[in-house]
Amino acid sequence: MLPMRIALRWAPALMMMALIFLASSTPASQLPYFGALDLLVKKGGHAIGYALLGMTYFFALPARLSIPYRAVTALLMAVLFSLSDEFHQSFVEGRTSTLRDVLIDTVGAGLALFAAALYSSASKSSSKSAS
């Protein structure tokens, strides 16, 4: 039963990784254009996608690990995935690979993980006080 629980914990992270990979596999000619908001929507999509990825990593990591350790590990995993995804994107027609996008991804993941760590810390402290 333990391997199934681990697989279920990691399923959301694997799904986010697949979604990000599919999005970055789309040739530039097939990407939608959002007019004056194009840059904001696309870079916001980066930040939100990696915020979700970071959180799925955080909650997939074993709860026995400390909250700060899980948050830092999840952030490093998100940054490594971002770097690998930018490299992959450099091979897609009309797409470019930029460190600016990695920075945006890192900020998105970092902010979400900060919130997740605060929430997890508050949850643990309130459950201890309820005992």
Whole-angstrom CA distances from 129 to 123, 124, 125 are: 10, 9, 6
Spatial contact of 85 and 20, defined as CB atoms under 8 Å apart = yes
pLDDT in tens, 24-62: 999 999 999 999 999 999 999 999 999 999 999 999 999
Q: Delimit the domains of the chain by residue range.
A: 2-130
pTM score: 0.90
User: Phi first, then psi: what are they for 111, rounded to 5°?
Assistant: -65, -45
- Name the nearest CA neighbour of 42 among 105, 110, 114: 105
pLDDT in tens, 50-99: 999 999 999 999 999 999 999 999 999 999 999 999 999 999 999 999 99
